[in-house]
Amino acid sequence: MQPSVLDVSPVIPVVVLDDASAAVPLARALLAGGIGIVELTLRTPAALDAVRDIATEVPDILLGVGTVVSADDVARAVDAGAQFLVSPGTTRSIVEAARSREVPLLPGVSTVSEALFALELGLHELKFFPAEQAGGAAFLAALRSPLPQVRFCPTGGISPANAPEYLGLPNVGCVGGSWVTPHDALANHDFHRVEALAKAAVSLR
Ligand code: 3PG
């Protein structure tokens, strides 16, 4: 059985790719650095080509698609090869679309009521977004007592400086962030830097 998306790595790299030719070497650099998971965001025209390329060429990495904001996005992402999905928010249509394709979904929440809505829809592993702006580690620590059945992947404003505080919480499985795959490193095809950042990220816990 596939492990929970939250248990693959302490950090899920959140990637914004302008150029699909960077996708395969990027995924290989993450694996070389010890990170077996990646989230490609649907924020650029290159995103779906990048997903297709990684799905074909780098099958060892667990491949997610993020910034899923509609049921159509779910279909496009899964058709391209997504093995899990990440959404910045939680809607019934996105949850139902992901379920109908039998692909795990990490839906975003930033309030207690949104977490309760996700629980009502049968989901107890959630993205906490935007983490730093919505209350940070202190907010998640406060949810542990009333919502012990929920585990989170906080993203948004996470860095090597604040990641350990989140990773130390019992209701945090992993964190997500874009710092492992900086825009300039991808633009310059500097995959050694990505590998070094991945190595540093896995040692955060
Ligand atoms: C996300 O979608 O998870 C965030 O854009 C990542 O946030 P960061 O760029 O602050 O790491």
Residue 1 confidence (pLDDT) above 70:
no
CATH number for 59? 3.20.20.70
Name the residue of 43, 73, 129 whose CB sits within 8 Å of the most ligand 1 atoms, as the mutation to test its pocket.
Answer: 129
Rounded CA-CA distance 193/176 in Å is: 18
Torsion region of 135: left, alpha or beta (phi above 0 gives left; psi -120 to 50 gives alpha)? left
Whether residue 37 is contained in a domain is answered as: yes
Whether residue 2 is contained in a domain is answered as: no
Range of the domain at 147: 9-202
User: What is the 176 CA–ligand 1 centroid distance (Å)?
Assistant: 7
Whether residue 3 is contained in a domain is answered as: no
pLDDT tens digit string along 16-44? 999 999 999 999 999 999 999 999 999 99
How many domains does the structure of the chain reveal?
1
Name the residue of 15, 106, 155 whose CB sits within 8 Å of the most ligand 1 atoms, as the mutation to test its pocket.
Answer: 155
The answer to whether residues 153 and 127 touch, using CB atoms and an 8 Å cutoff, is yes
Question: Which parts of the chain fold into alpha helices (H)?
Answer: 23-32, 47-57, 71-80, 92-100, 112-120, 136-143, 163-167, 183-187, 191-202
**pTM > 0.85: yes or no:** yes
Which residue's alpha carbon is nearest to atom 3 within ligand 1? 155
pLDDT tens digit string along 123-167? 999 999 999 999 999 999 999 999 999 999 999 999 999 999 999
Pocket lined around ligand 1, Cβ cut-off 6 Å: 14, 66, 129, 155-158, 176-178
Ligand 1 atom with the smallest distance to the CA of 67 is 2
Whether residue 72 is contained in a domain is answered as: yes
Phi, psi of 64 (to 5 degrees): -115, 155
